[in-house]
Structure 1
Amino acid sequence: MMMKIVQILATSGGLGGLEQHTFNLTNELALSQELHVIAHPCYAEKFNSNVKFHAVDFARSRWNIFLLWQLKSLIQQIQPDIVHAQAGKAAELISRIRPFLPDIKVVTTIHGTKKNKSTYLVGDAVIAVSQALAQGIPNNKAHVIYNGVYPQPDLSIEHKQHLLQTIQQDFPQLDSNKKLVMCIGRLEPVKNISLLIESMQQIDANLWIIGDGSLRASLEKQVSELNIQNRVAFLGFRIDARELIQLADVVVLSSDREGFPLVMVEALQADKVMASTRVNGVVEWLPNQYIAEIGDAQGLAKVIKCALQPEAQNDFSALYAKAKAELTVQAMTEQTLNIYKGLLKT
Structure 2
Amino acid sequence: MKIVQVLATSGGIGGLEQHTFNLANELSQQHEVHMIAHPCYAEKFNPQVHFHAVDFARSRWNILLLWQLKSLINQIQPDIVHAQAGKAAELIAKIRAWLQPVKFVSTVHGTKKNKSAYAAADAVIAVSQALTQSIPPAKAHVIYNGVHAQPRLSDQQKQRLKAEIYAQHPALDASRKIVMCIGRLEPVKNISLLLQAMQGIDANLWIVGDGSLRQRLESQMQQQNLQHQAAFLGFRSDARDLIQLADAVVLSSDREGFPLVMVEALQADKAMASTKVNGVVEWLPEPYLAGTGKADELHAAIINALSAQAEFQPLFARAKAELTVQAMAGQTLNIYEQLLQK
Q: TM-score scaled to structure 2, two decimals?
A: 0.99
Structure 1 counterpart of 2:318, from 311, 318, 322 = 322
CA distance in 2, matches of 1:190, 1:287: 23
Structure 2 counterpart of 1:167, from 165, 168, 173 = 165
Structure 1 counterpart of 2:103, from 102, 105, 112 = 105
CA distance in 2, matches of 1:73, 1:236: 42
Aligned residue identity for 1:133: L
Where does 1:1-346 land on structure 2 (aligned, <5 Å)? 3-309=1-307, 312-346=308-342
Q: Deviations over 1:73-120 (max 9, x none)?
A: 111111111000000000010111010114011000000011111110
- Tell me the CA shift for residue 202 of structure 1: 2.0
Aligned residue identity for 1:12: S
CA distance in 2, matches of 1:35, 1:202: 51
Secondary structure of 1:127's partner? strand
- Provide the identity percentage: 71
Q: Deviations over 1:209-249 (max 9, x none)?
A: 00111111111111111111111111111110110000000
Is the Cα contact below 8 Å between 2:269 and 2:316 reproduced in 1? yes
CA distance in 2, matches of 1:190, 1:153: 30
Is the Cα contact below 8 Å between 2:5 and 2:81 reproduced in 1? yes
Secondary structure of 1:147's partner? coil
Aligned residue identity for 2:236: R
Is the Cα contact below 8 Å between 1:37 and 1:53 reproduced in 2? yes
CA distance in 2, matches of 1:89, 1:252: 30
- Tell me the CA shift for residue 122 of structure 1: 1.7
CA distance in 2, matches of 1:55, 1:152: 29
Aligned residue identity for 2:75: Q
CA distance in 2, matches of 1:308, 1:37: 42
Aligned residue identity for 1:298: D
Is the Cα contact below 8 Å between 2:77 and 2:100 reproduced in 1? no
CA distance in 1, matches of 2:39, 2:235: 21
CA distance in 1, matches of 2:207, 2:65: 37
Secondary structure of 2:4's partner? strand
Is the Cα contact below 8 Å between 1:153 and 1:242 reproduced in 2? no
Secondary structure of 1:238's partner? coil
Secondary structure of 1:202's partner? coil
- Which stretches of structure 1, 4 residues or longer, exceed 3 Å deviation after superposition? none
- Tell me the CA shift for residue 306 of structure 1: 1.1
CA distance in 2, matches of 1:264, 1:204: 23
How many pairs were matched up? 342
Is the Cα contact below 8 Å between 1:94 and 1:122 reproduced in 2? no
Aligned residue identity for 2:263: V
Aligned residue identity for 2:129: Q
Aligned residue identity for 1:25: L
CA distance in 2, matches of 1:13, 1:56: 12
Aligned residue identity for 1:318: P
CA distance in 2, matches of 1:107, 1:214: 34
CA distance in 1, matches of 2:91, 2:276: 32
Q: Deviations over 1:268-309 (max 9, x none)?
A: 000000000000101100001100000001110011011111
Aligned residue identity for 1:232: A
Secondary structure of 1:228's partner? coil
Secondary structure of 1:331's partner? helix
Unaligned runs of 5+ in 2: none
- Tell me the CA shift for residue 138 of structure 1: 1.1
- Tell me the CA shift for residue 14 of structure 1: 1.2
Q: TM-score scaled to structure 1, two decimals?
A: 0.98
Secondary structure of 1:38's partner? strand
